[in-house]
Chains A and B, each alone.
Chain A
Protein backbone atom coordinates (compact mmCIF):
# COMPACT_ATOMS: atom_id res chain seq x y z
CA UNK A 1 0.00 0.00 0.00
CA UNK A 2 1.86 3.04 -1.23
CA UNK A 3 -0.75 5.79 -1.30
CA UNK A 4 -4.31 6.56 -0.33
CA UNK A 5 -7.00 6.03 -1.24
CA UNK A 6 -6.25 2.36 -1.79
CA UNK A 7 -9.05 -0.16 -2.22
CA UNK A 8 -8.96 -3.93 -2.25
CA UNK A 9 -11.69 -6.48 -2.98
CA UNK A 10 -11.69 -9.68 -0.94
CA UNK A 11 -14.09 -12.51 -1.71
CA UNK A 12 -16.07 -14.78 0.61
CA UNK A 13 -13.13 -17.17 0.97
CA UNK A 14 -10.70 -14.43 1.98
CA UNK A 15 -9.02 -14.32 -1.43
CA UNK A 16 -7.96 -11.11 -3.14
CA UNK A 17 -10.44 -10.58 -5.99
CA UNK A 18 -9.10 -7.19 -7.08
CA UNK A 19 -5.64 -6.08 -5.96
CA UNK A 20 -4.66 -2.73 -4.50
CA UNK A 21 -6.11 0.01 -6.66
CA UNK A 22 -6.83 3.73 -6.57
CA UNK A 23 -10.53 4.52 -6.20
CA UNK A 24 -12.57 7.27 -4.60
CA UNK A 25 -15.98 6.86 -3.02
CA UNK A 26 -17.33 10.02 -4.64
CA UNK A 27 -16.34 12.68 -7.15
CA UNK A 28 -15.71 15.33 -4.48
CA UNK A 29 -12.03 15.48 -5.46
CA UNK A 30 -12.47 14.71 -9.16
CA UNK A 31 -11.21 18.09 -10.35
CA UNK A 32 -8.06 17.71 -8.24
CA UNK A 33 -7.32 14.05 -8.91
CA UNK A 34 -8.65 13.62 -12.44
CA UNK A 35 -10.15 10.28 -11.37
CA UNK A 36 -13.82 9.53 -11.92
CA UNK A 37 -15.14 7.38 -9.08
CA UNK A 38 -18.03 5.98 -11.09
CA UNK A 39 -16.22 3.24 -13.01
CA UNK A 40 -15.02 1.56 -9.84
CA UNK A 41 -18.37 2.00 -8.12
CA UNK A 42 -20.23 0.44 -11.06
CA UNK A 43 -17.91 -2.56 -11.06
CA UNK A 44 -18.11 -2.87 -7.30
CA UNK A 45 -21.92 -2.85 -7.30
CA UNK A 46 -22.01 -5.45 -10.07
CA UNK A 47 -19.55 -7.68 -8.20
CA UNK A 48 -21.46 -7.41 -4.91
CA UNK A 49 -24.78 -8.17 -6.64
CA UNK A 50 -23.24 -11.10 -8.48
CA UNK A 51 -23.96 -9.41 -11.81
CA UNK A 52 -20.37 -8.92 -12.88
CA UNK A 53 -17.06 -10.66 -12.30
CA UNK A 54 -14.15 -9.67 -10.20
CA UNK A 55 -10.82 -10.31 -11.84
CA UNK A 56 -9.64 -13.85 -12.44
CA UNK A 57 -6.61 -14.94 -10.40
CA UNK A 58 -4.48 -14.57 -13.54
CA UNK A 59 -5.77 -11.03 -14.19
CA UNK A 60 -5.23 -10.14 -10.54
CA UNK A 61 -1.65 -11.39 -10.56
CA UNK A 62 -0.96 -9.56 -13.82
CA UNK A 63 -1.76 -6.15 -12.29
CA UNK A 64 -0.64 -6.83 -8.72
CA UNK A 65 2.42 -4.86 -7.66
CA UNK A 66 4.75 -7.01 -5.60
CA UNK A 67 7.16 -5.47 -3.08
CA UNK A 68 10.80 -4.95 -3.99
CA UNK A 69 13.86 -5.28 -1.77
CA UNK A 70 14.18 -1.47 -1.70
CA UNK A 71 10.55 -1.09 -0.60
CA UNK A 72 11.04 -3.60 2.20
CA UNK A 73 14.18 -1.78 3.33
CA UNK A 74 12.22 1.48 3.26
CA UNK A 75 9.60 -0.11 5.53
CA UNK A 76 12.31 -1.30 7.92
CA UNK A 77 13.75 2.25 7.99
CA UNK A 78 10.28 3.69 8.61
CA UNK A 79 9.66 1.21 11.46
CA UNK A 80 12.93 2.25 13.09
CA UNK A 81 12.24 5.95 12.59
CA UNK A 82 8.73 5.64 14.04
CA UNK A 83 10.07 3.78 17.08
CA UNK A 84 12.66 6.53 17.67
CA UNK A 85 10.07 9.31 17.18
CA UNK A 86 7.69 7.72 19.66
CA UNK A 87 10.46 7.77 22.27
CA UNK A 88 11.35 11.42 21.80
CA UNK A 89 14.38 10.93 19.57
CA UNK A 90 13.11 13.01 16.66
CA UNK A 91 16.56 14.21 15.60
CA UNK A 92 17.91 10.69 15.34
CA UNK A 93 14.75 9.49 13.59
CA UNK A 94 15.04 12.08 10.83
CA UNK A 95 17.81 10.41 8.81
CA UNK A 96 15.84 7.16 8.82
CA UNK A 97 12.68 8.88 7.56
CA UNK A 98 14.74 10.52 4.81
CA UNK A 99 16.40 7.24 3.87
CA UNK A 100 13.01 5.49 3.73
CA UNK A 101 11.79 8.13 1.29
CA UNK A 102 14.92 7.77 -0.83
CA UNK A 103 14.51 4.01 -1.03
CA UNK A 104 10.83 4.21 -2.00
CA UNK A 105 10.17 7.67 -3.46
CA UNK A 106 6.80 6.52 -4.82
CA UNK A 107 5.60 5.38 -1.39
CA UNK A 108 3.54 8.29 -0.14
CA UNK A 109 2.24 6.33 2.85
CA UNK A 110 5.81 6.63 4.09
CA UNK A 111 6.70 10.08 2.74
CA UNK A 112 3.42 11.85 3.47
CA UNK A 113 2.56 9.68 6.44
CA UNK A 114 5.73 10.72 8.27
CA UNK A 115 5.39 14.46 7.62
CA UNK A 116 3.27 15.48 10.62
CA UNK A 117 5.51 13.76 13.15
CA UNK A 118 8.54 15.40 11.49
CA UNK A 119 7.03 18.87 11.87
CA UNK A 120 6.17 19.11 8.17
CA UNK A 121 2.78 19.95 6.69
CA UNK A 122 1.14 16.91 5.00
CA UNK A 123 -1.61 19.11 3.54
CA UNK A 124 0.37 22.20 2.51
CA UNK A 125 3.58 23.44 0.95
CA UNK A 126 5.82 20.67 2.27
CA UNK A 127 3.56 18.05 0.74
CA UNK A 128 3.11 19.92 -2.55
CA UNK A 129 6.89 20.22 -2.84
CA UNK A 130 7.42 16.45 -2.87
CA UNK A 131 4.41 15.87 -5.11
CA UNK A 132 5.61 18.45 -7.61
CA UNK A 133 9.12 16.98 -7.63
CA UNK A 134 7.61 13.56 -8.25
CA UNK A 135 5.20 14.55 -11.00
CA UNK A 136 7.60 16.95 -12.74
CA UNK A 137 10.00 14.01 -13.09
CA UNK A 138 7.31 12.33 -15.20
CA UNK A 139 5.70 10.16 -12.50
CA UNK A 140 2.01 9.86 -11.69
CA UNK A 141 0.88 10.57 -8.12
CA UNK A 142 -2.09 8.21 -8.49
CA UNK A 143 -1.53 4.99 -10.39
CA UNK A 144 -4.84 3.18 -10.94
CA UNK A 145 -4.54 -0.29 -12.45
CA UNK A 146 -6.70 0.73 -15.40
CA UNK A 147 -7.54 4.11 -16.92
CA UNK A 148 -10.27 5.80 -14.90
CA UNK A 149 -9.51 9.42 -15.76
CA UNK A 150 -12.29 11.94 -15.83
CA UNK A 151 -12.94 13.29 -19.31
Chain B
Protein backbone atom coordinates (compact mmCIF):
# COMPACT_ATOMS: atom_id res chain seq x y z
CA UNK B 1 0.00 0.00 0.00
CA UNK B 2 1.51 3.42 -0.90
CA UNK B 3 2.46 5.91 1.77
CA UNK B 4 1.35 9.52 1.76
CA UNK B 5 3.43 12.16 3.53
CA UNK B 6 1.05 14.48 5.33
CA UNK B 7 2.32 17.95 6.26
CA UNK B 8 0.12 19.40 8.97
CA UNK B 9 0.27 21.53 12.11
CA UNK B 10 4.05 21.91 11.78
CA UNK B 11 4.46 18.12 11.67
CA UNK B 12 5.29 15.53 9.05
CA UNK B 13 3.48 12.20 9.31
CA UNK B 14 3.26 9.17 7.04
CA UNK B 15 -0.07 7.51 6.39
CA UNK B 16 -0.82 4.40 4.35
CA UNK B 17 -3.35 5.01 1.59
CA UNK B 18 -4.97 2.73 -0.97
CA UNK B 19 -5.23 5.39 -3.67
CA UNK B 20 -2.96 8.43 -3.87
CA UNK B 21 -5.43 10.15 -6.19
CA UNK B 22 -8.15 9.96 -3.54
CA UNK B 23 -6.37 9.45 -0.24
CA UNK B 24 -8.03 8.17 2.88
CA UNK B 25 -6.98 8.23 6.50
CA UNK B 26 -7.98 5.80 9.23
CA UNK B 27 -10.32 7.02 11.98
CA UNK B 28 -7.58 6.13 14.48
CA UNK B 29 -5.10 8.41 12.70
CA UNK B 30 -7.67 11.19 12.48
CA UNK B 31 -7.88 11.01 16.24
CA UNK B 32 -4.17 10.58 17.00
CA UNK B 33 -2.87 13.07 14.40
CA UNK B 34 -5.65 15.64 14.12
CA UNK B 35 -7.49 15.24 17.43
CA UNK B 36 -10.93 14.54 15.96
CA UNK B 37 -13.02 11.47 16.67
CA UNK B 38 -15.69 10.15 14.32
CA UNK B 39 -18.94 9.58 16.20
CA UNK B 40 -22.50 8.99 15.00
CA UNK B 41 -23.20 12.72 15.49
CA UNK B 42 -20.19 13.79 13.41
CA UNK B 43 -16.54 14.68 13.91
CA UNK B 44 -15.99 15.50 17.56
CA UNK B 45 -13.26 17.11 19.62
CA UNK B 46 -14.04 17.38 23.33
CA UNK B 47 -17.67 18.48 23.63
CA UNK B 48 -17.73 20.07 20.15
CA UNK B 49 -19.04 18.11 17.17
CA UNK B 50 -19.20 19.04 13.49
CA UNK B 51 -22.05 17.40 11.58
CA UNK B 52 -20.77 15.65 8.49
CA UNK B 53 -22.35 13.53 5.78
CA UNK B 54 -20.85 10.17 6.68
CA UNK B 55 -21.90 8.65 3.35
CA UNK B 56 -19.38 11.04 1.74
CA UNK B 57 -16.75 10.82 4.46
CA UNK B 58 -16.56 7.11 5.23
CA UNK B 59 -15.13 4.82 2.58
CA UNK B 60 -14.20 1.18 2.65
CA UNK B 61 -10.53 1.94 3.32
CA UNK B 62 -10.91 4.88 5.71
CA UNK B 63 -12.08 8.47 5.82
CA UNK B 64 -11.85 10.48 2.63
CA UNK B 65 -9.12 13.04 3.34
CA UNK B 66 -10.63 15.69 1.06
CA UNK B 67 -14.09 15.40 2.60
CA UNK B 68 -12.50 15.48 6.04
CA UNK B 69 -10.51 18.62 5.20
CA UNK B 70 -13.65 20.30 3.85
CA UNK B 71 -15.60 19.40 6.98
CA UNK B 72 -12.86 20.87 9.18
CA UNK B 73 -12.58 23.90 6.83
CA UNK B 74 -8.88 23.17 6.39
CA UNK B 75 -7.26 23.59 2.96
CA UNK B 76 -5.77 20.42 1.49
CA UNK B 77 -3.33 20.58 -1.41
CA UNK B 78 -1.55 17.59 -2.86
CA UNK B 79 1.27 16.57 -5.18
CA UNK B 80 0.40 13.07 -6.21
CA UNK B 81 3.66 12.46 -8.08
CA UNK B 82 5.62 12.74 -4.82
CA UNK B 83 2.88 11.32 -2.60
CA UNK B 84 2.70 14.37 -0.39
CA UNK B 85 -0.19 16.48 0.88
CA UNK B 86 -0.32 19.69 2.86
CA UNK B 87 -3.22 20.16 5.26
CA UNK B 88 -3.35 23.81 6.25
CA UNK B 89 -4.93 25.47 9.24
CA UNK B 90 -8.55 26.55 9.19
CA UNK B 91 -8.97 30.28 8.73
CA UNK B 92 -11.75 30.15 11.32
CA UNK B 93 -9.43 28.58 13.90
CA UNK B 94 -6.67 31.10 13.14
CA UNK B 95 -9.08 34.03 13.29
CA UNK B 96 -10.50 32.79 16.58
CA UNK B 97 -7.03 32.42 18.04
CA UNK B 98 -6.01 35.91 16.91
CA UNK B 99 -9.27 37.45 18.10
CA UNK B 100 -8.47 36.19 21.60
CA UNK B 101 -5.42 38.52 21.47
CA UNK B 102 -3.33 35.82 23.15
CA UNK B 103 0.01 35.86 21.34
CA UNK B 104 0.66 32.32 20.08
CA UNK B 105 3.78 30.82 21.62
CA UNK B 106 6.71 29.83 19.41
CA UNK B 107 10.30 28.71 19.86
CA UNK B 108 13.18 29.76 17.62
CA UNK B 109 16.98 29.43 17.82
CA UNK B 110 19.29 32.43 18.14
CA UNK B 111 22.53 32.71 16.16
CA UNK B 112 24.29 30.51 18.72
CA UNK B 113 21.61 27.83 18.42
CA UNK B 114 20.07 28.53 21.83
CA UNK B 115 16.30 28.15 21.80
CA UNK B 116 14.05 30.96 22.95
CA UNK B 117 10.29 30.82 23.46
CA UNK B 118 8.00 33.79 23.53
CA UNK B 119 6.58 32.45 26.81
CA UNK B 120 10.06 32.82 28.39
CA UNK B 121 9.49 36.58 28.25
CA UNK B 122 6.27 36.55 30.29
CA UNK B 123 6.30 39.45 32.76
CA UNK B 124 8.09 41.75 30.31
CA UNK B 125 6.83 43.91 27.48
CA UNK B 126 7.93 42.41 24.16
CA UNK B 127 8.53 44.12 20.82
CA UNK B 128 8.53 41.44 18.14
CA UNK B 129 10.20 42.52 14.90
CA UNK B 130 10.14 40.40 11.74
CA UNK B 131 12.63 41.38 9.09
CA UNK B 132 14.37 39.63 6.24
CA UNK B 133 17.70 39.74 4.47
CA UNK B 134 16.17 37.85 1.54
Contacts and interface: CB of A to CB of B under 8 A. Distances in A.
Interface of A: 1, 4-17, 19, 25, 44, 47-48, 57, 60-61, 64, 66-69, 71-73, 75-77, 79-80, 83-84, 87, 89, 92, 96, 99, 109, 112-113, 115-116, 122-123
Given A14-B118, A72-B94, A80 B101 contact: no
B134 to A, nearest CB: 4
Closest 10 CB pairs of A and B: A76-B88, A73-B75, A80-B86, A122-B134, A66-B95, A10-B126, A8-B128, A76-B75, A6-B130, A76-B86
Contacts of A113: 132, 134
Contacts, number: 130
Contacts of A69: 73, 75, 91
Contact of B125 (A4, A10, A19, A112): A10
Contacts of B130: 1, 4-8
B102 interface: yes
Given A4-B131, A67-B91, A80-B79, A14 B85 contact: no
Tell me if B's interface is mostly helix, strand, loop or mixed: mixed
A84 B123 CA distance: 41
Residue among A7, A57, A72, A84 with most chain B CB within 10 A: A72
Nearest to A64: B98
Interface residues of B, number: 43
A9 B101 contact: no
B22 interface: no
Given A14-B102, A16-B103, A83-B7, A73 B118 contact: no
A11 B125 contact: yes
A119 to B, nearest CB: 14
B90 interface: yes
Contact of A44 (B7, B88, B127): B127
Contacts of B12: 83
Nearest to B90: A72
Contacts of A17: 125
Interface string B112-134: 00000011011111111111101
Nearest to B12: A83
Interface string B94-111: 110011011101000000
